[in-house]
Amino acid sequence: MAVGQRRDILVFSFKEPIVAPEVMGEVVKRVHQDPYRMPLAVRLERCLADAFDIKNFDINKTEFKQGTATSEIKFLTRQENFLYALEGQAAVAVGENELILMPDDCFDFTAYCGIGKILVNRSEKSMRLLEVGHRAPGDARHYPKTEFSPFTFYPDES
């Protein structure tokens, strides 16, 4: 930097840490049955990204009870999701395949693979997950085994 040249300083807004259980949760209730005929989860989602005013991706701490599924079988057209199991266990069904997600396991759901996915909690206690996904403009959710039509989240502004 030359003598007398002004140096621009980035302004950083310091924030205190947030304790995740203190973030107000939203109870998300699904009313349809999934293809396994299990009740869909009445789940508690704590939107951690919103607590920090993060705009480009979601971070949710999610809890769903034993004997429930997180959603109908679905796939997304643009959004990719990363799951980190915190507590409990759940079966992850991807197409015709199934595996068990245990604490400290990580899993991803890739965008537009055309294969439906679902998480089913067949354990004796609640499952807690950390879910991370980007808010993809024009993303549509497809439910191949239900009567739902695709619908779009985060409309494409372009």
Sequence ranges of the domains in the chain: 24-149
Count of residues making up the chain: 158
14-18, 102-106, 150-154: which has the minimum mean pLDDT? 150-154
**Helix count (H) and strand count (E) of the chain?**
1, 13
Distance, C-alpha 68 to centroid of its chain:
16
Give the model's pLDDT for residue 8.
55
Average pLDDT, whole number, for the chain?
72
Give the model's pLDDT for residue 147.
53
pLDDT tens digits, 52-109: 888 888 888 888 888 887 776 666 676 778 889 999 998 887 777 888 999 999 988 7
Model confidence at 7: pLDDT above 60? no
Report pTM. Answer: 0.69
What are the backbone dihedrals phi and psi of residue 22, each rounded to the nearest 5 degrees, phi first? -85, -10
Nearest to 28 by CA among 56, 82, 65, 59: 65
Give the model's pLDDT for residue 84.
92
Task: State the average pLDDT over residues 44-58.
Answer: 83
Give the model's pLDDT for residue 33.
46
Give the model's pLDDT for residue 123.
86
Task: State the average pLDDT over residues 22-33.
Answer: 59
Asked if CATH classification 3.50.50.60 holds for the domain at 24-149, the reply, yes or no, is no
3-class DSSP assignment, residue 5: coil
Give the model's pLDDT for residue 149.
45
